[in-house]
Homo-oligomer: A and B are copies of this chain.
Amino acid sequence: MCSACRIRRLGVCSGADEKGLDQLELRKTYRRYAPGERMASAGLDLPQIGTVLSGTATLSRTQDRGTRQIVGLLQKGDILGRPWRHTTPFDVEALTPVEVCAFRTPVFEDLLDQMPGLRTRMIEMIQDDLDAARTMMTILGRKTAREKIVSFLVHLALRQNSTPERGACEVDMMLSREQIADILSLTFETVSRQIMDLERAGLIVPRTRRIFCIPELQALIQLSGDDHDGALIDC
């Protein structure tokens, strides 16, 4: 039941009223993807539009030379697919098991036409993605490796700890060194070195390879290179 959906207040569908939800109810299909599974390929047809219910997927493009750039992470509530555009310009790949609530593209376009609230919400979400992408542009082009790693850690910390008190907190990077490198446009060696440096400086304390304690979040923020407004890729 849509009205009891765990992302009811998060996804596009939060723009739908009760009557609209009934419409969605009738047309939706659930899909599951296994870790590593290709959910869509750059340049190819993508005949569905969906909302991520759980799990994480990457949006990326790989160059001829083999370097990869991750341009977005799809998480709970994020949209996969594009209305009125029948191909997708990026590869989409499941990182963890992913559940998607999907509609065939023409069906979803009809729903958008009929439901003003849905369309409004859609505009808001894409706009936020756009802002996040542009913010990433400023990070990729103008920050040092150190600042990139710190910005990434701060972003995750603020996201994962809803209390923005800037004191001690814990952060789970979730991703491998290589995946972080593909997001921040670095090599995995550089990522590893920067993380080690932060450890040796006592700014982060390892719990596991990917989970860290941050004794003083404020100290990290000051190393991040600018006024941290929190909008990194993911939305």
Measured CB to CB, the residues of A under 8 A from B are 59, 61, 63-65, 67, 69, 71-72, 82-85, 89-90, 112-113, 116, 119-120, 122-124, 126-127, 129-131, 133-138, 140-142, 184-185, 225-227, 229, 231
Q: Which residues of B are found within 8 Å of A67, using beta-carbon distances? A: 142
| Copies of this chain, whole number | 2
B134 touches A59 (CB 8 A): yes
Would you give the shortest CB distance from A221 to chain B, in whole angstroms? 13
Give CA–CA (A3, B81) in the complex, Å.
33
- Report A23 CB to chain B, min CB distance, Å: 16
Complex: A123 Cα to B125 Cα, angstroms: 10
Contact A141 B140 (CB under 8 A): yes
Is B113 a contact partner of A113 (Cβ separation < 8 A)?
no
A129 contact set on B, CB distance < 8 A:
130
Contacts of A141 in B (CB 8 A): 69, 140-141, 184-185
Given A84-B124, A123-B83, A127-B126: A72 in contact with B134 (beta carbons within 8 A): yes
